[in-house]
Amino acid sequence: MSTFVLSVNGTDHHLDADPEMPLLWVLRDLLYLTGTKYGCGMGVCGACTVHEDGRAVRSCQVAISATKNKRYTTIEGLSADGNHPCQRAWLDEDVSQCGYCQAGMTMAAAALICETPNPGDTEIDAALSGLICRCGTYQRIRAAIHRAAASGTKA
Amino acid sequence: MKSTRRTFLRNSAIVGTGLIFAIDLRSHAEAEASVEFSPNAFIQIQTDNTVRIWVTRSEMGQGVRTTLPMMLADELDADWSQIRLEQAPTIPRFKGIRLRTSGSGSTEGTYNVMRKAGATARTMLIAAAAEKWGVEPAACRAQSGMVTHTSSGRSLSYGALAETAARQSIPENPPLKDPKDFRYIGKPMKRTDGPAIMTGRALYGLDTRISGMLQAVMKRCPYIGGRVLSFDARKTMAISGVRHVVPIKSGLATGVAVVADNTWTAMKGAEALDITWDSGPNHNFNSDIFLQEMERAVGEPGFFVRGDGDAEKALPRAARQIDAIYEFPFQAHAPLETMNCIADVRANFCEIWAPTQTPTTAQEEAAKMLGLPLDSVKVNVTLLGGGFGRRLFVDYAVEAVELSHAIHKPVQLVWTRSDDMRCGFFQPPGIVRISGGIDDQNKPLVWKQTSVGCDLSMFGFPDEKALADPRHYFNDGSPWGAFDNPYNFPHLKAEFVRRNSPVPTGPWRAVEYPAQVFARESFIDEMAYSAHQDPLDFRLELLQPGDVLAIGDQKIDRARLIGVLELAAEKAKWRDVRPQISGRDWGRGIACNVYDQDCFIAEVAEVSVGKTGHDIRVHRIVCAVDCGRVINPLGIEGQTESGITWGLTAALHGRIDFKNGAAIQGSFTDYGVIRMHEAPVIETYIMPSEHAPGGFGETAVPAVPPAVANAVFAATGKRVRRLPLTSEKLQATTLARPL
């Protein structure tokens, strides 16, 4: 066990953890931020996507020991009141079905439109094809990203 | 519940599809003290105007937590913003009410119940207002959470009326609305859980936390039917944070559980276990060989499924005969939330939190295991991160109960992705052989089908007595898709040959339809080509005169199937010239199906295939549906998109293989599923209908693989009859027709 300072959603958390523990489990089991989901634990489904200094990363592939001096954002911290353009667009397009993958999808999309304010379909494919939705809401996710991009990226 | 906030629940029970409400258990004194209004198990109206609605089905993405409250709120004339949803646990309040979610049955099974529950409350609220004002109930009307006296304009909110309403007598047959007055039913309604999902507040099974809870992960026997011979936990116990190591015998894939302070430590601990497995009786099982055995069985006589005319005599006399064999492999459910369950076993009580489609089964199994009375087990249903049939079995809940019982602590047992992919239930494979005959006028004459398939082990295999009846499967209406083949052949014969493997099998989205409909709708296409007819016209001709087909206890309205075929064809511009894409062959394919006599669907797939790489792209699927009266059109669109994407995974990627008694695929790297870059444009067109509402969670799945295979044939002249339809298979397939 080692001690870490982890910055999540603007707060520094002081934690004792196994250095190998993936950020995913730190968030879920130590900080009780369960919005970030476990889907595969091997970086192939994207359900655990969070922001690391604004970039989308798989939290199951980031060990706590590698988080020093980095700032993380999870779905709980994407906006203060659920008003990020992606969150709003997701509701407007009625995207979610079971909803389990949507936190990861939203975080990936939010990072995309931050980097590429008006992404085309090819860019959406490239940014999101690493994520899985078993309910098959892809068409609505695509529409929501276009809608969010059109509404501006300000949270 | 505190006595001051006591509710006066009337005992309610539902028998069959009908309902019995309102056995009034109140004493006069209780009724006097009532401040809340709860005329049946589904509703409670509080004095602050909150309308609590209990949802009695599990939400797994199909939308029950939106549609069920819509039905109730419509008849209640509730203000949607005042509704608060509760998920029904297995408590006495819901005794006799079905809490199982399966068979696309939630809409159909609750439509009348929810409406009557709402209408009962509305009638009593109106009676309460009439009593307060000393007027006739007929002079009052309910709207948006208020009752208004029409002539004077006086009004009171439902909350203000709750106490008086609770004293009213319960109407036996409260008047239901004329559908033209529906306020919510039939109008698009966004998902009620959307805001919670989008802010990370929605709680699935894996997100549930209870006080003092530990986390557990198992190392599971990879061999079907295998078991632990011995294990060494020394390395595991040396890991800081590991609390217990417990062999688990109750579930489906037995093994050894590691209980720790958190999930990661439990995973690490499970990984470190040294286990010697007894590979059991099935270590020689290979699915390739099993599928070959199934295929050899197509020549065997089988159980009666359909027998119209005399197919055996007519077939050899047909001017032209064609013959084909289709294969549908094993499939996994692979919901994104892996199986998991929290159990808290105490001396005389057990509480469970599970993402389950069947909380009452979990309650029964836990009570049986612990020797407790049923009422001493309470099962709470969380949100489900996908269900698709997998969560109809409670193996994962029973394991958690066994574990909590062993360690005397509350524990959450988490399945890893590999556990979930390899150690659960599977969709069984199907082999279907069809022989068809066409007469000298190019008219379809004969359909002769042998379906080789498995019984679903989850339901238990039929016993000898059942199997002695040659009509056993017919009486069951099975196999779905062969039994209810809607086409009108002068000679039609279908038989079922059973072949079971040791692989645990259970319902998967659309259950028996996918394998049968893939074969049926592909073969219809093959016959149409052989008869030099357009595949749409050929189908329409085979559904004439648009009558009702009565088969077993089903009645299939062919006119409704014709309706969706024509609508899909029109919207897809079926008869338009196909576009030219450089370097690619482009084609359209059509397929249709009737789900359990209630829901009718037709799908047109547009695909292109690379001339050199043989890569298959599905560009668009146009879908027309007739599912009776629509509760939530947004829900129907969502389920169409979902079912089509599910079907596309089966069409293009899905396949589980077993080698030496163990599943090979173990994650989303080797069990491919449709992702964003492959997702086609999906268009949904809903046929307006006054028919009773049908369930729609599965309907869109079965027609997808044949629509895609037919489109690939139209594009390339190559007929792929074994799923999944990969570019390698396409490359290896010889041309069936000149381009």
Selection from B261, B229, B256 nearest residue B245 by Cα:
B256
Tell me the mean pLDDT in the region A112-130.
97
Provide the residue range defining the domain that includes B15: 3-198
Q: Which residues of A touch B264 (CB under 8 A)?
A: 18, 21-22, 25, 29
Selection from B422, B511, B501 nearest residue B457 by Cα:
B501
Residues A11 and A64 in one domain: yes
Please give, rounded to a whole number of angstroms, the shortest distance from the CA of A48 to a CA of chain B. 11
Residue B294 lies in a domain: yes
- The ipTM of this complex is 0.98
**Predicted confidence band of residue B638 (pLDDT cuts 50, 70, 90):** very high
Check CB contact under 8 Å for B634 and A135.
no
Please give, rounded to a whole number of angstroms, the shortest distance from the CA of B269 to a CA of chain A. 13
The CA distance from B114 to B71, in Å, is 6
**Predicted confidence band of residue B18 (pLDDT cuts 50, 70, 90):** very low
Residues A129 and A92 in one domain: yes
The CA distance from A61 to A24, in Å, is 8
Residue B738 lies in a domain: no
Residues B690 and B554 in one domain: yes
Question: Is residue B213 less than 8 Å (CB to CB) from chain A?
Answer: no
Mutate which of A134, A137, A138, A146 to disrupt the B interface (most B C-beta within 10 Å)? A134
Check CB contact under 8 Å for B681 and A139.
yes
Residues B673 and B550 in one domain: yes
Check CB contact under 8 Å for A135 and B674.
no
Please give, rounded to a whole number of angstroms, the shortest distance from the CA of B191 to a CA of chain A. 7
Check CB contact under 8 Å for A137 and B641.
yes
Q: Which residues of A touch B641 (CB under 8 A)?
A: 136-137, 139-140
Check CB contact under 8 Å for A99 and B383.
yes
pLDDT at B7 over 90: no
Q: Which residues of A touch B207 (CB under 8 A)?
A: 28, 34
Residues B321 and B352 in one domain: no
Tell me the mean pLDDT in the region B343-353.
97
Please give, rounded to a whole number of angstroms, the shortest distance from the CA of A132 to a CA of chain B. 6
Residues A38 and A98 in one domain: no
Residues A59 and A91 in one domain: no
Residues B227 and B319 in one domain: no
Mutate which of A100, A124, A140, A145 to disrupt the B interface (most B C-beta within 10 Å)? A100
CA-to-CA separations, B499 to B128, B284, B295, B424, in angstroms, rounded: 63, 17, 10, 20
Which B-chain residues 619-648 have CB contacts (< 8 A) with chain A? 634, 638, 641-646, 648
> Structure pTM?
0.95
Please give, rounded to a whole number of angstroms, the shortest distance from the CA of B428 to a CA of chain A. 20
Give chain B's domain count. Answer: 3
Return the residue of A nearest to B207 by Cα: A34
Residues B182 and B210 in one domain: no
Q: What residue type is assigned to position B205 of the chain?
A: G
Residue B739 lies in a domain: no
> Per-residue DSSP letters for A37-51?
PPS-SSSSS-TTEEE
CA-to-CA separations, B491 to A3, A48, B308, B439, B444, in angstroms, rounded: 77, 55, 5, 12, 9
Q: Which residues of A touch B385 (CB under 8 A)?
A: 37, 98-100
Which B-chain residues 243-282 have CB contacts (< 8 A) with chain A? 262-265, 267-268
Q: Which residues of B touch A125 (CB under 8 A)?
A: 676-677
Residue A116 lies in a domain: yes
Among the candidates B348, B380, B414, a domain finishes at B414
Residues A101 and A70 in one domain: no
Please give, rounded to a whole number of angstroms, the shortest distance from the CA of A139 to a CA of chain B. 7
**Predicted confidence band of residue B24 (pLDDT cuts 50, 70, 90):** very low
Residues B244 and B132 in one domain: no
Determine how β-strand B444-453 pairs with β-strand B491-498. Answer: parallel
pLDDT over 90 percentage in chain A: 97
Q: Which residues of A touch B681 (CB under 8 A)?
A: 139
Mean pLDDT of chain A: 96
Please give, rounded to a whole number of angstroms, the shortest distance from the CA of A50 to a CA of chain B. 12
Q: What share of chain B is helix, strand, coil (3-state, %, to 5)?
A: 35, 25, 40
Check CB contact under 8 Å for B676 and A30.
no
Beta carbons of B66 and B107 less than 8 angstroms apart: no
Please report where in the chains the tokens 């020991």 appear, as a residue: A65
pLDDT at B90 over 50: yes
Residues A25 and A63 in one domain: yes
Residues B383 and B487 in one domain: no
Check CB contact under 8 Å for B675 and A25.
no
Check CB contact under 8 Å for A99 and B681.
no
**Predicted confidence band of residue B735 (pLDDT cuts 50, 70, 90):** confident
Residues 6+ apart with CB under 8 A from B671: B332, B334, B421, B653, B654, B655, B656, B665
Among the candidates A61, A77, A93, a domain finishes at A77
Residue among B200, B265, B673 minimizing CB distance to A76: B200
Residue among B263, B646, B682 minimizing CB distance to A25: B263
Q: Give the per-residue pLDDT at A89.
A: 98
Among the candidates B367, B385, B414, a domain finishes at B414
Q: Which of B33-42, B160-169, B293-302 has the lowest mean pLDDT?
A: B33-42
Beta carbons of B194 and B143 less than 8 angstroms apart: no
Q: What CATH number did the domain enclosing A29 receive?
A: 3.10.20.30
Mutate which of A33, A65, A94 to disrupt the B interface (most B C-beta within 10 Å)? A94
Residue B737 lies in a domain: no
Residue A146 lies in a domain: yes
DSSP A15: E
Q: What residue type is assigned to position B244 of the chain?
A: H
Please give, rounded to a whole number of angstroms, the shortest distance from the CA of A151 to a CA of chain B. 17
The CA distance from B230 to B152, in Å, is 82
Residues A22 and A44 in one domain: yes
Q: Give the per-residue pLDDT at B736.
A: 80
The CA distance from B57 to A88, in Å, is 28
Q: Which residues of A touch B62 (CB under 8 A)?
A: 97
Please report where in the chains the tokens 């559908």 appear, as a residue: B179
Tens-place pLDDT, residues B245-277: 999 999 999 999 999 999 999 999 999 999 999
**Predicted confidence band of residue B34 (pLDDT cuts 50, 70, 90):** low
| 3 state SS of B714 | helix
Token duo for residue B447: 């359909």
Q: Give the H/E segment covering residue B708.
A: helix B704-716
- Chain A to chain B Cβ contacts (< 8 Å): 183
Check CB contact under 8 Å for B336 and A132.
yes
Return the residue of A nearest to B621 by Cα: A139
pLDDT at B663 over 50: yes
Tell me the mean pLDDT in the region B631-645.
98
Among the candidates A77, A101, A128, a domain finishes at A77
Q: Which residues of B touch A34 (CB under 8 A)?
A: 200, 203, 206-207, 209
Q: Give the per-residue pLDDT at B730.
A: 95
Mean pLDDT of chain B: 94
Residues B251 and B395 in one domain: yes
Residues B325 and B445 in one domain: yes
Residue B420 lies in a domain: no
Q: What is the crossing angle of helices B633-652 and A138-150, to 10°? A: 120
Please report where in the chains the tokens 């632990």 appear, as a residue: B228
pLDDT at B651 over 70: yes
Token duo for residue B561: 């199937």
Give chain A's domain count. Answer: 2
Residues B7 and B130 in one domain: yes
Question: Is residue B238 less than 8 Å (CB to CB) from chain A?
Answer: no
pLDDT over 90 percentage in chain B: 93
Residue A141 lies in a domain: yes
Q: Which residues of B touch A93 (CB under 8 A)?
A: none
CA-to-CA separations, B119 to B108, B129, B135, B554, in angstroms, rounded: 18, 15, 20, 31
Q: What CATH number did the domain enclosing B463 receive?
A: 3.30.365.10
Q: What CATH number did the domain enclosing A143 receive?
A: 1.10.150.120
The CA distance from B330 to B338, in Å, is 19
Residue A155 lies in a domain: no
Residues A69 and A25 in one domain: yes
Residue among A82, A126, A141 minimizing CB distance to B199: A82
CA-to-CA separations, B332 to B58, B64, B250, in angstroms, rounded: 21, 24, 22
pLDDT at B47 over 70: yes
Among the candidates B182, B198, B214, a domain finishes at B198
Q: Which residues of B touch A74 (CB under 8 A)?
A: 200
Residues A119 and A144 in one domain: yes
Residues A95 and A68 in one domain: no
Q: Give the per-residue pLDDT at B22.
A: 34
Among the candidates A39, A56, A77, a domain finishes at A77
Residue among B209, B417, B646 minimizing CB distance to A41: B417
pLDDT at B15 over 60: no
Residues B398 and B253 in one domain: yes
- The angle at the Cα of B197, spanning B196 to B201, to the nearest 5 degrees, equals 55
Residues A100 and A67 in one domain: no
Q: Give the per-residue pLDDT at B133.
A: 98
Tens-place pLDDT, residues B207-258: 999 999 999 999 999 999 999 999 999 999 999 999 999 999 999 999 999 9
Provide the residue range defining the domain that includes A11: 2-77
Q: Which of A85-94, B13-22, B198-207 has the lowest mean pLDDT?
A: B13-22
Beta partners for residue B197, in sequence order: none
Return the residue of A nearest to B644 by Cα: A136
Tens-place pLDDT, residues B595-626: 999 999 999 999 999 999 999 999 999 999 99
Residue B419 lies in a domain: no
Tens-place pLDDT, residues B100-158: 999 899 998 999 999 999 999 999 999 999 999 999 999 999 999 999 999 999 999 99
Residues A28 and A92 in one domain: no
Residues B219 and B102 in one domain: no
